[in-house]
Structure 1
Amino acid sequence: MSDTQFHPLAISQIKTETDDTVSLYFAIPEDLTETYKYTQGQYLTLRFTINGQEVRRAYSMSSSPLEPHLAVTVKRVTGGLVSNYIHDQLKAGDEVDVMPPQGRFYTKLDPAQRKTYYLFGAGSGITPLMSILKTTLEAEGQSSIHLLYGSRQDDQIIFYEELEALTQRYEGQLTVTYIVSQPRLEKAGGIGGWFKKGIPSWAGPTGRIDAVALDRFLDEYPAKGSGAEYFICGPGAMIDTVEANLVEHGINKKQIHAERFVNAADVAASKATGGVGAGEVKVHLRGESISLNVPAGKTILEALLDAKHDAPYSCMAGACSTCMAKVVTGKVRMDVCYALDEDEVAKGYVLACQSHPEGGPVELTFDV
């Protein structure tokens, strides 16, 4: 099991990216340098106590491991407990409990490779893609990268200035295509301008990342080199659209990598009701054997937490792999599973936050 212990890290800087998005830069103590080494595309789990309640959230790193700093980027979510706390309460110098980096939203880089990378992001889904993009440009200089980035409005394009600078610096290696779904309207101006229809502030492509936009994008930037990889991050509907389109284009699913930004409330609302039975579960966690009675309607992770065991978790939505475990014996059913591929599930790996015992006793281990 990877390191899931929290450490207090001081915020060295809070940078405003857009009106509703900030980046948190963390200072890493010298004795924790190795602990917080990471791979492009990974995430951090932050832990807070808000209104007397412990809450955790996973945030992707927007920094590159080749850069001298570590940063996550957080977009304010309407009604979001943690994102609003981060925006309204945190300041430079504050300490945050941070779990070491995790996640598998990456492929191994090799300076000898000459690949084509296609990145598809919407909204804050750009965050891990920035880490992948910046790292690949430097570590795999013969490869090319094409980013298709969707935003609601042009003034909400996160990292716009940085992306523009990167396209100039890596001309011929990096292209960025923006698509805006709701361009802002500016007043027409002049005599009577207040009464005229507004002029769109955005002159680039408009709409959403749909099948038409994808076809146009892939036709404009055909793959070159020894192979291609496809990375998608953003809302689930966008990911589903891109994945389906890529498969229709004959892309092997093993070349398609997706990171879903979902929350536990959305997943809970979509869960099927009924048919979720209780059961006895034996859990191996950090060398300890734990016997649990998992009630009907509860996940294995929820039962562990209810029994005051410090099990690893983060999103509670099946979207990250922090709570990944392996079934030793018995049968488990998951509500949803966004973080594991078919091969891993076939080998018995599960997400404890989505897992229920089914059809008899279960033995499960986190120590893998």
Structure 2
Amino acid sequence: MFFEWQANQAVTLRCVGKYAETHDAVSIRLSELSESLLFQFKPGQFINLGVEIAGKMEFRAYSISSAVEDEHLQLTIKRVAGGKVSNYIIDSLLPGDTVQALPPAGDFNCIDHPPQTINGHAKALLISAGCGVTPVFSMAAYWLNNRDNVDIAFLHIARSPEETIYFDQLETLDAIYPNFRLELLLKNNHGTSHPQGRLNADWITQLVPDFKERTIYLCGPNQFMLDTQQYLKQLDFDMNQFYQESFTPAPREDVQLSDENTMVAVPDFSQSIQARKGQVLADVLEGAGLPVIVACRSGICGSCKCKVRAGSVSSTSQETLTPEEIEQGYVLACSSTIQSDLDVQIG
């Protein structure tokens, strides 16, 4: 039987396992509360995970690293400076604890964007760094488990073997699957036969000479992804066969806070909130203690969708909204700045 997600409503899951991957990263496994059910998602997608910290439910987006139709969801979480939720999970979440989770989401996946087939063969290049390995690891597991016969080149960049998430699993896949080739580029390669260096265009051509024949999926820290994208363009890669994940907010270089005051009315909660023109709508709603879920803060998860019934906002992302929703006035609060007095409906 399959686990049933509840539209855009949070469900309660239980942590049934917690494992150290590196000194600063753990994997947690989440299952249904009462029975063993299989989880469906598109490999590469993420969930918005909610944990209660100091009496407040805090949501953040984490990529799923488990295989499709496992009896659990696995998330791998790395410690980050100032990371309220990530660090809480690493330090305090225990097996047996419950969490909240929104349904899997995200356009970065290998179902909606399968690798192109050339002369009857599908070839993929997965490029990752740090915790960016999680969604592409799930993609590789999907292709290998479903015997799709996808030729997989897995290029991962890390500091050292000890700081490489899934180091043993990746080497095992490389050893047993003829259609999986691991290329691990390390800053410090002590004790391994993997090369040492920093990723650049030359390393891509050296490690994956046939990269132009592959569909590329990229995930990692923002600057790493920007640099990698530039290397691929320099190498004349067909960017129509390029996909990347990013939870980084779109820049708002053209938006400045104004001295002009506005009012944000939320009639369903009997609230009228004073704000300034140019403020991010999500910040205003959160500041008033309203139950808006803001997880990725980049307009790609859709958790903060709300309806502007009157007034205007300026939006930098509508990625998860349908044309019908946009027509009806729905916006993503994390990616929308206030331009006038508003009447808002949450959810």
Give TM-score scaled by structure 1 length: 0.74
Letter in 2 for 1:209: L
Measured against aligned partners, the alpha-carbon deviations of 1:197-225 in whole angstroms (never above 9, x if no partner) come to xxx444422222222222333425552xx
Q: How far did 1:330 drift?
A: 7.6
Question: What is the CA–CA distance in structure 2 between the aligned matches of 1:81 and 1:329, rounded to whole Å?
Answer: 34
Aligned CA distance change for structure 1 residues 239 and 82 (closer, same or farther; 3 Å) = same
**Contact 1:8/1:98 (CA < 8 Å) preserved in 2?**
yes
SS in 1 for 2:231: helix
Find the partner of 1:38 among 34, 37, 41. Answer: 41
Question: What is the CA–CA distance in structure 2 between the aligned matches of 1:239 and 1:326, rounded to whole Å?
Answer: 33
**Contact 1:102/1:322 (CA < 8 Å) preserved in 2?**
no
Q: How far did 1:178 drift?
A: 0.5
Q: How far did 1:239 drift?
A: 0.7
**Contact 1:324/1:352 (CA < 8 Å) preserved in 2?**
yes
Q: 1:135-284 residue pairs with structure 2 within 5 A?
A: 135-139=142-146, 141-171=148-178, 173-181=179-187, 183=188, 200-221=190-211, 223=213, 228-262=214-248, 272=253, 275-277=256-258
Question: What is the CA–CA distance in structure 2 between the aligned matches of 1:251 and 1:309, rounded to whole Å?
Answer: 46
Specify the alignment match of 1:315 in structure 2. 296
Q: How far did 1:237 drift?
A: 0.8
Letter in 2 for 1:39: K
Question: What is the CA–CA distance in structure 2 between the aligned matches of 1:256 and 1:206, rounded to whole Å?
Answer: 26
Specify the alignment match of 1:82 in structure 2. 85
Letter in 2 for 1:149: H
Aligned CA distance change for structure 1 residues 46 and 168 (closer, same or farther; 3 Å) = same
Gaps of 5+ in 2: 1-5
Aligned CA distance change for structure 1 residues 254 and 150 (closer, same or farther; 3 Å) = same
Question: What is the CA–CA distance in structure 1 between the aligned matches of 2:151 and 2:267, rounded to whole Å?
Answer: 44
Measured against aligned partners, the alpha-carbon deviations of 1:292-350 in whole angstroms (never above 9, x if no partner) come to 7653342122233345543343122446443356889986434x65x949x99xx8886
Q: Could you tell which deviates more after superposition, 3-12 or 127-136?
A: 3-12
Question: What is the CA–CA distance in structure 2 between the aligned matches of 1:232 and 1:241, rounded to whole Å?
Answer: 11
Q: How far did 1:26 drift?
A: 1.0
Gaps of 5+ in 1: 185-199
Specify the alignment match of 2:3 in structure 1. none
Letter in 1 for 2:184: Y
Specify the alignment match of 1:8 in structure 2. 12
Aligned CA distance change for structure 1 residues 86 and 308 (closer, same or farther; 3 Å) = closer
Find the partner of 1:61 among 55, 61, 64. Answer: 64
Question: What is the CA–CA distance in structure 1 between the aligned matches of 2:314 and 2:72, rounded to whole Å?
Answer: 40
Question: What is the CA–CA distance in structure 1 between the aligned matches of 2:82 and 2:115, rounded to whole Å?
Answer: 44
Give TM-score scaled by structure 2 length: 0.78
SS in 2 for 1:101: coil
Question: What is the CA–CA distance in structure 1 between the aligned matches of 2:108 and 2:157, rounded to whole Å?
Answer: 20
**Contact 2:116/2:215 (CA < 8 Å) preserved in 1?**
no
Question: What is the CA–CA distance in structure 2 between the aligned matches of 1:95 and 1:156, rounded to whole Å?
Answer: 28
Question: What is the CA–CA distance in structure 2 between the aligned matches of 1:274 and 1:112, rounded to whole Å?
Answer: 39
SS in 2 for 1:126: helix
State how many pairs are aligned.
Answer: 332
Specify the alignment match of 2:280 in structure 1. 299
SS in 2 for 1:275: coil
Question: What is the CA–CA distance in structure 2 between the aligned matches of 1:112 and 1:177, rounded to whole Å?
Answer: 21
Measured against aligned partners, the alpha-carbon deviations of 1:226-271 in whole angstroms (never above 9, x if no partner) come to xx42211111111111222333444444432211255xxxx69x76
SS in 2 for 1:118: strand
Letter in 2 for 1:204: H
Aligned CA distance change for structure 1 residues 14 and 240 (closer, same or farther; 3 Å) = same
Q: How far did 1:80 drift?
A: 2.5
Aligned CA distance change for structure 1 residues 26 and 140 (closer, same or farther; 3 Å) = same
